[in-house]
Chain A
Amino acid sequence: GQQLNQSPQSMFIQEGEDVSMNCTSSSIFNTWLWYKQDPGEGPVLLIALYKAGELTSNGRLTAQFGITRKDSFLNISASIPSDVGIYFCAGHQRGPNFGNEKLTFGTGTRLTIIP
């Protein structure tokens, strides 16, 4: 199945460092979403972006919807231990049915904080 290209695949950082990850696609998306998944849990929505060029923050998290609508990035500032987990981007394309249509997910970025 289709997946979005997400990089980096994994990151090892020290507490307090800033983190940056991005997602690219060959297709245009109407919505970009960023999720975090902890072990044994389902993904939790962090940020939703609905407009090209949009820059949105949620606490220490900042995400942007690329101008071309084919990419998005997520930044985490001043990382803390609870930031550990897997981060996924997801893109949504609006179709003929106005509803909760399918999301295409990125391959994930595993974030590890080194003590």
Chain B
Amino acid sequence: KAGVTQTPRYLIKTRGQQVTLSCSPISGHRSVSWYQQTPGQGLQFLFEYFSETQRNKGNFPGRFSGRQFSNSRSEMNVSTLELGDSALYLCASSLAGAGGYETQYFGPGTRLLVL
């Protein structure tokens, strides 16, 4: 079965712009989580959506937002980009959460470069 897909794979933006990243989960998965990965901070949890509702949230500023659609596809948006937002953004989908990490799969990520 198809894995988690993320688009675009690479993106270059300039400071002050905004960006939208997309994640299509594995068919049947209803939970989508987003993570930011940087060399300095490592992997940091952004937020998790389940059935179109944000269920959990990490410690990121309000410039980072997301949403989930009825087909479980998710988007995350970063407004007013800063240089420090340059990172690999990973999305992970799982069946229903509930701690079942065996069903959680990560996508390949979107690499964002902010100039």
Contacts and interface: CB of A to CB of B under 8 A. Distances in A.
Interface of A: 1, 3, 30-31, 33, 40-45, 48, 88, 90, 92, 94-95, 97-108
Interface stretch (B48-56, B65-73, B78-86): B48-56
Contact of A99 (B43, B45, B50): B50
A97 B47 CA distance: 13
Q: What is the size category of the interface that chain B forms with chain A?
A: 20 to 34
Given A3-B42, A100-B33, 9 more contacts: A31-B101, A95-B56, A98-B97, A100-B55, A100-B94, A101-B48, A101-B99, A103-B43, A105-B44
Contacts of B97: 98-101
Tell me the dominant secondary structure on chain A's binding face.
Answer: loop
B12 interface: no
A45 B59 contact: no
Given A97-B55, A99-B98, A88 B43 contact: yes
B59 A40 contact: no
A53 B94 CA distance: 26
15 contacts: A1-B59, A3-B41, A30-B99, A33-B101, A41-B108, A45-B105, A48-B102, A92-B99, A94-B99, A98-B97, A98-B99, A99-B48, A99-B99, A100-B56, A102-B33
B106 A43 contact: yes
B42 A102 contact: no
Contacts of B105: 42, 44-45
A90 B35 CA distance: 13
A93 to B, nearest CB: 11
Contacts of B94: 100
Contacts of A40: 108
B92 A42 contact: yes
B56 A45 contact: no
B93 to A, nearest CB: 9
Contacts of A102: 33, 45, 48, 56, 58
A79 B1 CA distance: 30
Interface centre among A40, A43, A44, A95 (most CB of B within 10 A): A43
